[in-house]
C-alpha cells in the first residue's frame, strides 16, 4: 500500500499535464529518471513511483485500480492526454510489433505455402484472419480484425 496521501503529493510536487513533467516544489527540480524499460521513476521523500501512475494519482486523487496505458506506446511520455486506465490485457493489445517480425506488419507472417497469414490474439485465443497472396491485403485484414477484437486499444504499429 502507498504511504503518500494526495495532499502530501500536492505539497511536494507539481505535475504539468501538458508536458507530463513532475517538478519538485521546493526547488523546481525536474523529477523522473528512466528505468531499464523506459518508464520514468519519480522519488518523493523515501517513496519511489512510476511517474505515469503518480500522474494518475495527482490528477484524479485515486491510485489506478489496474494498469495505466501509454496511448502512443512511448513509456516516457506521461502527458495526461497520453494516459488511460486499462486492464493488463488491454495494455498488451497496445504493444508494438515484435522485433523479430519479418513481414513488417504486426500480426502478419509468411506461412509455408508462401502466403501471408493473419492472426490476432484475444483472451489467450488466436483468431485467424485468413491467408493472402498480397502483403497489403493481409495488412488491411489484420487491421480490421484487430480493430474488431481490440477496439480502442488496437495498435497497428
Site of grid cell 486492464: 87
Q: What is the mean pLDDT of the chain?
A: 90
The residue count of the chain comes to 157
Does position 65 have pLDDT exceeding 90, yes or no? yes
Residue spans per domain, the chain: 6-86, 99-153
Cell representation of residue 33: 529518471
Contacts 24+ apart (CB under 8 A), 96-103: 96/155, 96/157, 97/157, 103/135, 103/138
Taking residues 126-151, what's their average pLDDT?
A: 88
Among the residues of the chain, which ranges form H helices?
Answer: 6-12, 51-60, 88-93, 135-150
Output the nine-digit C-alpha cell for 14. Answer: 507539481
Q: Is the pLDDT of residue 1 over 60?
A: no
The architecture CATH gives domain 6-86: Alpha-Beta Complex (3.90)
Q: What percent of the chain has pLDDT over 90?
A: 59
pLDDT band at 95 (very low <50, low <70, confident <90, very high): confident
Q: What is the pLDDT of residues 108-117, one digit of tens each?
A: 988 999 999 9
Q: Rounded to whole angstroms, how far apart are CA atoms 5 and 99?
A: 40
Per-residue pLDDT, averaged over 41-58, amounts to: 95
Kindly report the CATH class assigned to 99-153: alpha beta
Kindly report, residue by residue over 97-111, the tens digit of the pLDDT: 788 888 888 889 889
Amino acid at each position: 500500500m502507498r504511504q503518500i496521501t494526495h495532499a502530501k503529493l500536492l505539497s511536494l510536487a507539481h505535475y504539468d499535464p501538458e508536458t507530463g513533467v513532475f517538478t519538485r516544489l521546493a526547488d523546481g527540480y525536474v523529477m523522473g529518471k528512466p528505468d531499464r524499460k523506459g518508464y520514468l521513476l519519480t522519488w518523493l521523500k523515501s517513496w519511489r513511483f512510476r511517474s505515469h501512475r503518480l500522474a494518475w494519482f495527482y490528477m484524479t486523487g485515486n491510485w489506478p485500480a489496474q494498469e495505466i496505458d501509454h496511448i502512443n506506446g512511448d513509456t516516457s511520455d506521461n502527458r495526461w492526454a497520453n494516459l488511460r486506465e486499462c486492464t493488463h490485457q488491454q495494455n498488451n493489445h497496445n504493444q508494438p510489433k515484435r522485433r523479430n517480425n519479418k513481414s513488417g506488419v504486426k500480426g502478419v507472417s509468411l506461412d509455408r505455402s508462401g502466403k501471408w497469414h493473419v492472426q490476432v490474439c484475444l483472451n489467450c485465443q488466436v483468431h485467424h484472419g485468413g491467408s493472402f497472396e498480397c502483403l497489403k491485403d493481409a495488412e488491411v485484414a489484420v487491421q480490421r480484425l484487430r480493430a474488431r477484437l481490440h477496439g480502442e486499444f488496437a495498435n497497428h504499429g
